[in-house]
Amino acid sequence: MINRTQSHLFWGTNAPLSTLICAGLMIMATSRLAFALIVGGALIWTYGLTVLILGFAKPILPQKGREIIWVFLSSFLGSLYLLLIYFVSPFLAMETTFLILLAPLSCIGSGVCSRLEGSDPNDFILKVLLEALVLAGILIALALIREPLGFGSFSLPGGPQGIVTLVSFGSSLYFPVQIIAGSSGGLLILGYGLTLFRRFRNRYTSAGEEQ
């Protein structure tokens, strides 16, 4: 049960809120829901295809220099995703370039490539996709809090300007509330979320050990 707890997609030791490898993305990509959706897609794309390709190429990869291959492959896939977004909406691609290029760094930093070495590729690919989905879900959840408080709106990718405002609540929000849209507000919400996460994870871990 302890191993099961440690490998849990949300509460485990490799979960996004446990490692905080993607803390930068959680702060910068959640100011707008549109950005969070695009970056969430980049994470799923990069994580999934990186592990899928490495899984098939595992028998022929050299023992030395594998880390360089991991970085090159994930960076190439992240750039390819950015190129696809550019073909769909150049303005949206320009606004999210830096955020999308952080997805490969998050993929490598999460350790999924090194964990693939001792795992069955067929089972591990699904697990990695679920990890990426969990991380994307966290980004979207944070964006659903920050955008309406900071900008008084909900946005989606699309339109000639790259972002379509789906719902607007007006601009009569108090200035202290609008700070939530900035990096300091994202860091504040992430800090509160991390505190709640650790409290509930301790309860989950204690319950698992008792069983």
pLDDT tens track, the chain, 211 positions: 444 555 666 566 666 666 677 778 888 888 889 999 999 999 999 999 999 998 888 778 787 878 888 899 999 999 999 999 999 989 999 999 999 999 998 888 888 888 877 777 777 888 888 888 988 998 999 899 888 887 878 889 987 788 888 877 665 555 556 666 666 677 777 777 777 777 777 776 665 555 5
Tokens 């549109």 belong to 34
- Stated pTM of the model: 0.82
**Where does the chain show beta strands of DSSP type E?**
153-157, 163-168
119: left (phi over 0), alpha (psi -120 to 50) or beta: beta
